[in-house]
Structures are given as structure tokens and as C-alpha cells.
């Protein structure tokens, strides 16, 4: 990754996915000077059986903004597609290409390709198709100049990845990740995600031999020297 490369973009289907899947790594990159934007496709309005959907969406957007701030991300954008994605349209693809060409990220995070959740899988496919289309002269209606991220990493949410190519030591940012997760009060009130994530990070750390706590990724795209920014610093 060249020395000027300092922009990262993370896509999540629901307001808490980015914190769960790659929050520790996002916090690490923020500490290293990366400009990071979160893009959330649905506001997760179906994600509560206690709060009416009309209130859940705005509440979860507030939680997502708060969590992004804890991680050190510079901004959050909401696409407000209806919760419960089962597919995508050409217009949605143009939305993503437009974002990609505007923000021009060097590192891109998205759900790993074989996620067990259909909504997560749809986001992964939509984003990856849009990356491909946005890299060339096609889709002029999206505006902007062609762009392709140097690194694309798939993160795990609903089940652990069976295979992964990259483990990032997040020992220094695990507590930040958990503080960001705790901002999602509408979700953590019902499920102890903090316990699950602390356990997963430790398991990933031990089994990847990083020794501490880790997040692991499916490497969807990479180039030579891509991973210098993840190396442990002196």
C-alpha cells in the first residue's frame, strides 16, 4: 500500500455489522491516520420486537453514529434500503458505484461472500459487483471517474469463517471495539454480543498464532505490499 493511501470504506447491512465484523481493525486504521467512512445499507428497522419499526430505524442510526465515533471513523452514511434485503436492483448498484467513485477508498470492508445471513450475502454481492462495474468506464450515469480499491476484505458476523487469509491483531483496540458495540443498546439489551465477540477475538488470536486478540478476514482482493498498514508497529 503506498504511503499516501489513507482512506478506508466499510459497508454493513445493518447498523451494528461493521462493529461486530471489523470494529477492531477499523479502530486500528483510524489510529494510524486513515480516513474511514461507514456506509450502512438498511437502518435495521426490523431489529427489535419491543420498539415500533418507525422508531427503531432512527434509533439505530443514532447508535451507529455514536459507535462510529468511538472507533474513530470520520463519517457514517445511511442508504435506508428496506430491512430484510433479498436482492438488489440496478439503481442500488449505481448508488454504490457513486459512493465508491466519490470516496475512492484504498481499503474496503464488506461481509464475507458466504455469510449465512441472506441480507449480509446480498450486500456482499451488491458491493463486489459494483466495485467491478465502477472500476471501468461503464455506468456513466453514476458519475465520477473509475476507481478500484487496492484491498477488499470480507468480515465475519453471523458465523465464523471456515477459511481466512488474514488475521489482524486487535489486542490494542479490542476494548474500543467492545465500547463501540455497547453503543448499540437496542441490540445488546437482548443478546450478549460482547461475550461472543470477546471469546471469538481470543479464539482467533490463539488459533492464528498472533497470540493476542484478532479479527480474521477473507481476502477478496489484494496487491503486493497491501498489508503493511496492518503490521504491528514498533
Q: Which residue number, 13 or 25, has a Cβ lying nearer to Zn ion?
A: 13
CB of 13 to Zn ion, least distance (A): 5
CB of 55 to Zn ion, least distance (A): 19
Q: Which residue number, 14 or 38, has a Cβ lying nearer to Zn ion?
A: 14
Query: Nearest residue to Zn ion, using CB?
Result: 14
CB of 109 to Zn ion, least distance (A): 14
Element (H, E) at 108: strand 107-111
- Which residues in this chain contact Zn ion in the complex, by CB under 5 A? 13-14, 17
Q: Which residue number, 17 or 95, has a Cβ lying nearer to Zn ion?
A: 17
CB of 213 to Zn ion, least distance (A): 22
Q: Which residue number, 186 or 226, has a Cβ lying nearer to Zn ion?
A: 186
Amino acid at each position: 500500500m503506498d504511503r499516501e493511501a489513507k482512506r478506508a470504506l466499510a459497508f454493513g447491512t445493518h447498523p451494528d455489522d461493521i462493529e461486530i465484523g471489523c470494529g477492531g481493525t477499523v479502530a486500528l486504521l483510524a489510529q494510524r491516520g486513515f480516513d474511514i467512512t461507514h456506509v450502512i445499507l438498511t437502518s435495521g428497522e426490523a431489529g427489535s420486537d419491543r420498539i415500533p419499526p418507525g422508531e427503531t430505524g432512527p434509533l439505530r442510526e443514532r447508535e451507529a453514529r455514536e459507535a462510529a465515533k468511538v472507533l474513530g471513523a470520520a463519517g457514517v452514511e445511511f442508504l435506508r434500503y428496506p430491512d430484510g434485503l433479498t436482492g438488489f436492483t440496478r439503481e442500488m448498484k449505481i448508488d454504490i458505484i457513486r459512493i465508491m467513485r466519490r470516496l475512492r477508498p484504498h481499503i474496503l470492508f464488506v461481509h464475507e461472500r458466504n455469510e449465512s445471513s441472506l441480507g449480509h450475502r446480498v450486500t456482499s454481492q451488491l458491493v463486489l459487483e459494483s466495485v467491478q462495474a465502477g472500476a471501468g468506464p461503464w455506468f456513466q450515469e453514476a458519475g465520477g471517474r473509475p476507481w478500484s480499491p487496492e484491498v477488499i476484505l470480507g468480515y465475519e458476523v453471523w458465523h465464523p469463517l471456515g477459511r481466512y487469509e488474514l488475521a489482524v491483531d486487535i489486542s490494542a483496540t479490542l476494548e474500543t471495539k467492545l465500547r463501540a458495540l455497547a453503543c448499540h443498546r437496542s441490540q445488546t439489551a437482548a443478546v450478549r454480543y460482547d461475550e461472543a465477540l470477546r471469546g471469538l477475538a481470543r479464539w482467533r488470536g490463539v488459533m492464528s498464532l498472533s497470540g493476542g486478540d484478532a479479527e480474521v478476514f477473507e481476502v477478496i482482493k489484494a496487491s503486493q505490499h497491501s498489508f503493511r498498514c496492518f503490521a504491528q508497529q514498533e
